[in-house]
Amino acid sequence: MALINKIREKSGLAVGIIAVSLILFIVGGDLLGSRSLFGGQDQSVGEIAGQKISYPEFNAKVDEARAAYEQQTGRPASEQDQIQLRDQAWNQFILDIAYQKEYDALGLAVTQDELVDMVQGNYISPAIRQTFTDPKTGAFDKNTVINYLKNLKTLPAEQQLAWANFEKNLSTDRTRTKYENLLRLSSFVTTAEAQKEYQAQNTRADAKFLLVPYYSVPDTTVKVTDGQLQEYLDKHKDEYKSINSRTIQYVTFPVAPSKEDSTALYDQIKTLARGLATATNDSSYARMNSDIQAPLYMTLGEMPEQLKATVGTFAPGGVYGPYKEGNTYFIYKYSGVKKDTNFTVRASHILIRATGSDSAKAAARIKAEGILRQIQGGANFEALAASTSDDGSRQQGGDLGYFKNDNRMVKPFQDAIFGFNGTGLIPRLVETEYGYHIIKITEPKTNTLYRISTIGKTITASQATRDEVYRRAEQFATESQSKEAFEENAKKDKTLVVATAERIPENSTNVNALGNARELVRWAFNDDTDINDVSSAIEVDDQYVVAVVTGKTSEDEVTVDNFRPELTAKVRNQLKAEQIMAKLNSASGPLESIAQKYGAGALVETVPDLNLANGFLKSAGVDPVAVGKIFGLKPGKRSKPFAGDAGVLIVETSKVTPAPTVADYAVYKNQLIQNASSRTGFLINEAIRDNAKVKDRRAKFY
């Protein structure tokens, strides 16, 4: 009895401990927060202008956007839709916080009278017009809006809330438009700037250059040190903006159907075939048991090839198959025929296009007539189509497949095909707006529709198969707890291929060709995941992935490792340039002689009628420094060797033709203003985000 009493005493304490633990587990994150006695992670999804956005606050905005979307579309938001809705909610926070500060500083706002005018006044908002335009007539009637507003209070609460949000967005959009227009209209271009642009577009130069491409010097002959990379980065830090990223190596374990899965499905399809044969309502039976929906009535041309081959043996009530196409088994039940209102035919053609002048049209007709005579004389239609036709069907020997007389083809073409009986070559040219056609009917026209109930069952991996693949992946992960072990075990298993994904962004949903890989990305960015850590088996579509983190970059720190490939290429080219210029500095004589003396790799090219605004230097490509030097030299003068984008160059200017004098530069002034205006919205957004020091941490939660 004493023992029982002690158990009772202790059980009360145990229940109390469990209850407290459950409460802490359920509410601890909100109650205690990141500054709790037990620590914890920052639960904000981001920061805008110093203001933190909490996860519940952000999620509430997302839920609001999702509800509005689902009410508007009448369907649940898909995963892709929800990604867009989260972006929409985040951008709304940026507008409400960062943009609003700018609006307040300038005193910009939308008055109530202005909002009324946008909704039902003289200057209707485009959003209102789009929402209340009759889809049948395409007409907008302001009275429709007024009547809607009169009845608004009688509508369900969610619709009233949706309208309130809609009006708020109208006001927000109008304020932003005012702000952007204010800055856009502040753009100014001077006459001197317009004159400079005119001269850049219309001044011409003839030049010659010698180029020694960087690639002509083997990379293996140039050694680049970490010190040189760091020195280059220190001098060009403004050019390299780091991001939060991860580099991983990974192996995949595909979940493919096993031999046993295929056998099981084959047995199932045979059982279904017996059921289909005896079903009184065969179309309903097929629809309920098929993985793939197929039309009940098919033309001969719409039938799969294996079924089409058995048409001659069709008998009402007969079941045909199973036929395997890819990973799917098909069975079919034939139940008779009916006549369609349209005919179907299969044909091939050779098209000789006739465009341009009458003489070109006559030449096209002569060519087409010659081809027609060759075919009538026994030449192979398909071979001539492949070699002479101007239509994309030439790759299929001119085959156009099956089509109906439903006016989708141009009328002369359709009339010729459906006016021909039987099969074979139509013995005349058919002229259409596209040119001259030589047509061969390969299967005769018919309006017979076959009633066929179809069951298609796709082979999928069973749960046992999935479990076995998961077991293999988990075993690999368990035995590969370091990068070295990961690489060693991957080498031992000849079925595995190690792939590398470089610098994956934090918000990425894909990893190389792996779609829907969000969980893999979240693991790589988890605060507890370090370099050389190996993941457990992560399911990505129909495969399991095991990965190891091999590198990481941070937006707060720019290091050589963040940009090693790019920096190495830049520094290596600098070192190559020094080598090349050392050989060219003492060179003299014509450029051709210098190139010959230099040896392999050097080339000389001429560029006539070069334009300063968008000059292109053939093998040297687009090189603003080289083009600038050409226009900066006097005719007959030559530059010293210098490092360009593609290699080391020596340029010499043969002739410069100044732009003709004009009295008015208004056209060029307008061009520059329009160019600046088109970039205003983008530049405003970038500037405001940068000024607000926006930090987006949503990727830690989604």
Alpha-carbon torsion (586, 588, 591, 596), positive or negative: negative
Q: Which residues pair with 439 in a beta bridge?
A: 349
Q: Are residues 255 and 544 in contact, defined by beta-carbon separation less than 8 angstroms?
A: yes
Name residues of the chain where pLDDT drops below 50.
Answer: 1-40
Of 442, 460, 478, the residue at which a domain comes to its end is 460
Q: Are residues 211 and 533 in contact, defined by beta-carbon separation less than 8 angstroms?
A: no
Q: Are 335 and 405 part of one and the same domain?
A: yes
DSSP SS3 for 230: helix
592 Cβ contact list (under 8 Å, min separation 6) = 604
Torsion of CA 676, 682, 685, 689, to 10 degrees: -110
Q: Which two tokens stand for residue 551?
A: 């590198």
What is the C-alpha to C-alpha distance for residues 22 and 328, in angstroms, rounded to an integer?
49
Domain containing 584 equals 204-241+563-657
With CA atoms as reference, report the closest residue to 446 among 404, 391, 493, 394. Answer: 404
pLDDT at residue 275 in the model: 95
On whether residue 678 sits in a domain, the answer given is no
How would you classify the pairing of strands 435-458 and 44-48? unpaired
DSSP SS3 for 183: helix
With CA atoms as reference, report the closest residue to 701 among 577, 546, 518, 569. Answer: 518
What is the C-alpha to C-alpha distance for residues 89 and 68, in angstroms, rounded to an integer?
12
On whether residue 620 sits in a domain, the answer given is yes
Q: Are 401 and 322 part of one and the same domain?
A: yes
pLDDT at residue 19 in the model: 41
What is the C-alpha to C-alpha distance for residues 512 and 501, in angstroms, rounded to an integer?
6
DSSP secondary structure letter of residue 140: B
616 Cβ contact list (under 8 Å, min separation 6) = 607, 622
What is the C-alpha to C-alpha distance for residues 537 and 477, in angstroms, rounded to an integer?
7
DSSP secondary structure letter of residue 39: B
Of 515, 534, 557, the residue at which a domain comes to its end is 557
Q: Are 407 and 288 part of one and the same domain?
A: yes
What is the C-alpha to C-alpha distance for residues 533 and 486, in angstroms, rounded to an integer?
10
Q: What share of the chain is helix, strand, coil (3-state, %, to 5)?
A: 50, 20, 30
On whether residue 676 sits in a domain, the answer given is no
Q: Are 629 and 490 part of one and the same domain?
A: no
Q: Are 270 and 411 part of one and the same domain?
A: yes
Q: Which helix (H) or strand (E) holds 572?
A: helix 564-584
Q: Are 411 and 262 part of one and the same domain?
A: yes
What is the C-alpha to C-alpha distance for residues 186 and 222, in angstroms, rounded to an integer?
51
Q: Are residues 46 and 695 in contact, defined by beta-carbon separation less than 8 angstroms?
A: yes
What is the C-alpha to C-alpha distance for residues 592 and 208, in angstroms, rounded to an integer?
10
Q: Are 535 and 579 part of one and the same domain?
A: no
Of 460, 486, 516, the residue at which a domain comes to its end is 460
Q: What is the DSSP string of 389-452?
A: --SGGGGGTTEEEEEESSS-S-HHHHHHHHT--SSEE-SS-EEETTEEEEEEEEEEEEEEEEEE
Q: Which residues pair with 453 in a beta bridge?
A: 333
On whether residue 702 sits in a domain, the answer given is no
Q: Are residues 610 and 627 in contact, defined by beta-carbon separation less than 8 angstroms?
A: yes
With CA atoms as reference, report the closest residue to 695 among 246, 245, 244. Answer: 244
640 Cβ contact list (under 8 Å, min separation 6) = 585, 650
With CA atoms as reference, report the closest residue to 524 among 544, 545, 541. Answer: 545
What is the C-alpha to C-alpha distance for residues 279 and 291, in angstroms, rounded to an integer?
18
| Per-residue model confidence as pLDDT tens digits over 90-110 | 999 999 999 999 999 999 999
On whether residue 435 sits in a domain, the answer given is yes
Q: Which two tokens stand for residue 609?
A: 């009628």
pLDDT at residue 42 in the model: 66
CATH number of the domain where residue 547 is located: 3.10.50
On whether residue 7 sits in a domain, the answer given is no
On whether residue 513 sits in a domain, the answer given is yes
What is the C-alpha to C-alpha distance for residues 461 and 542, in angstroms, rounded to an integer?
9
DSSP SS3 for 309: coil
Q: Are 415 and 470 part of one and the same domain?
A: no
For the chain, the domain total comes to 4
Q: Are 406 and 326 part of one and the same domain?
A: yes
| Per-residue model confidence as pLDDT tens digits over 252-287 | 999 999 899 989 999 999 999 999 999 999 999 999
Q: Does the model's pTM come out above 0.95?
A: no
Q: Are 311 and 364 part of one and the same domain?
A: yes
Q: Are 641 and 503 part of one and the same domain?
A: no
What is the C-alpha to C-alpha distance for residues 379 and 6, in angstroms, rounded to an integer?
104
Q: Which helix (H) or strand (E) holds 539?
A: strand 538-539
Q: Are 445 and 468 part of one and the same domain?
A: no
Q: Which residues pair with 353 in a beta bridge?
A: 435
pLDDT at residue 367 in the model: 93
pLDDT at residue 648 in the model: 97
On whether residue 281 sits in a domain, the answer given is yes
